[in-house]
Amino acid sequence: MSLVVYMASFLLALAALLLRRPRRTARSPLSIATRATAFIAAVCFFWSAPVTLAAVNHAVGVSNIGAPLTYSSISALSCSLIILLIHWRGGPQERIRRMTRMAVAVYGTLIIAIVALFCLAGSHEERLRDLDTYYANTPYMREMITLYLLGHLASTIVLSAVCLKWARDEVTGLLRTGLRLILAGLLLDALGFTLAKVTAVVARWLGYDLDFLSTNVAPPAAALGALIYSAGFVLPRLASAAATERQSLATYRALRPLWLAVKDVATTPPVAEPTWWQLWWQLPSSRLYLLEANIRDALLQLTAYVDQRVGHTTYAAAVQRGEGRERARVASEKAMIIDGIRRASGSGAGPADPPEKFRVTVDLVELAHVVHRHQRAAPQQMGIQ
């Protein structure tokens, strides 16, 4: 069973890593809540594995000390799921903060109660797989087990009700698919884990033995359910992130001709330009940020080769053709940059007449297309058409 639980823990931890925000991206409460939920779920399954429980009990020297640790992590997971749903739905920030504080207060109190009840109980015989049913009639242990099951069941019911309402009325596309996955995972968790555990514990109270529900049915059902509803939370965010990275990759490829044209102008080393063997694991958004920084630095150093006379001539010609002032200014800027690249490569005729102030405002992708077009048309003689 430990292998199944460890596999679920690994996949959930991987999801938390995949949801990391790119550098320079503003911190989002929703992103933080999503990653925190996936991470807490990974920790929860890691602690619940019999191998981990045995190691913790042996390391601390207290029989079954892993039980309150596992039950507390399950309660923390229930709380994080509710908080994630609160942030996912959105709304006024004050309402989000109020509901988040309420969830933390309720489940924080539950966790304190679980730890306190364990300290009061007498559970001297170590049980790694059937603690819930073995101690179902033991004072204080009985209450501890009941509390964590009720807390988890309550979060499951709340999440299911809200997700069902949203899936019916308010959302479409990937978000609806995500909500359906969450519902499927919660249903499996409610029936396969919580109901199985409750049935086995109540059976012990009534003098029957249905321990197999707690030891053989509940753990794999909980692992599978967690993977399914975590996928539901993660899917819309991963899809959005993937679309952003695809756009970043397309922009990165579009800017490469511009960088190849201006990189020799730079007199200082590029800004942390990755080596070829690093590119395979860097996100396109990170690579794009570095490339844009290097290009802007090189364009700044290109100022010495810029001829303002070329800009004035191009601007006047554009206005004469009937173009607006802004379009004429952009054409003038492109002309000066391309002429500057030509002069920097030694192909220009005569000294440049650089302006006192030159600031690049033209869109870099648009500039890269112009540079690429002129390089293909006349590699040795570039000019604005």
Question: What residue ranges in 231-282 does DSSP mark as E strands?
Answer: none
Domain count, the chain: 2
**Whole-number pLDDT of residue 350:** 63
User: pLDDT (tens digit, 9 = 90+) per residue, 248-273?
Assistant: 889 989 998 888 888 877 655 555 55
Are 168 and 228 contained in the same domain?
A: yes
Are 85 and 144 contained in the same domain?
A: yes
Q: Which of 246, 276, 299 is the last residue of a domain?
A: 246
Q: Tell me the pLDDT band of 380, cut-offs 50, 70 and 90.
A: very low
Are 78 and 222 contained in the same domain?
A: yes
Are 9 and 74 contained in the same domain?
A: yes
> Is 36 a domain residue?
yes
> Is 258 a domain residue?
no
Q: Which 3 state secondary structure label does DSSP give 219? A: helix
Residue 313, pLDDT above cutoff 80: yes
Look at residues 62, 19, 71 and name the one whose alpha carbon lies nearest to residue 222. Answer: 71
More reliable by pLDDT, 240 or 320: 320
> Is 260 a domain residue?
no
Sign of the four-CA dihedral 96, 99, 102, 108: negative
**Whole-number pLDDT of residue 204:** 95
Are 122 and 14 contained in the same domain?
A: yes
> Is 384 a domain residue?
no
> Is 252 a domain residue?
no
> Is 202 a domain residue?
yes
Are 32 and 114 contained in the same domain?
A: yes
Q: What percent of the chain has pLDDT over 70?
A: 86
Are 203 and 301 contained in the same domain?
A: no
More reliable by pLDDT, 34 or 255: 255
> Is 154 a domain residue?
yes
The CATH number linked to 154 is 1.20.1070.10
Residue 83, pLDDT above cutoff 70: yes
> Is 193 a domain residue?
yes
User: pLDDT (tens digit, 9 = 90+) per residue, 285-301?
Assistant: 888 888 888 888 888 88
Helices (H), 263-283: none
**Per the structure block, which two tokens stand in for 228?**
């399914």
Q: Which domain holds residue 26?
A: 2-246
More reliable by pLDDT, 217 or 359: 217
Q: Tell me the pLDDT band of 303, cut-offs 50, 70 and 90.
A: confident
User: Can you tell me which residue has the tokens 């908080």?
Assistant: 83
**Whole-number pLDDT of residue 384:** 40
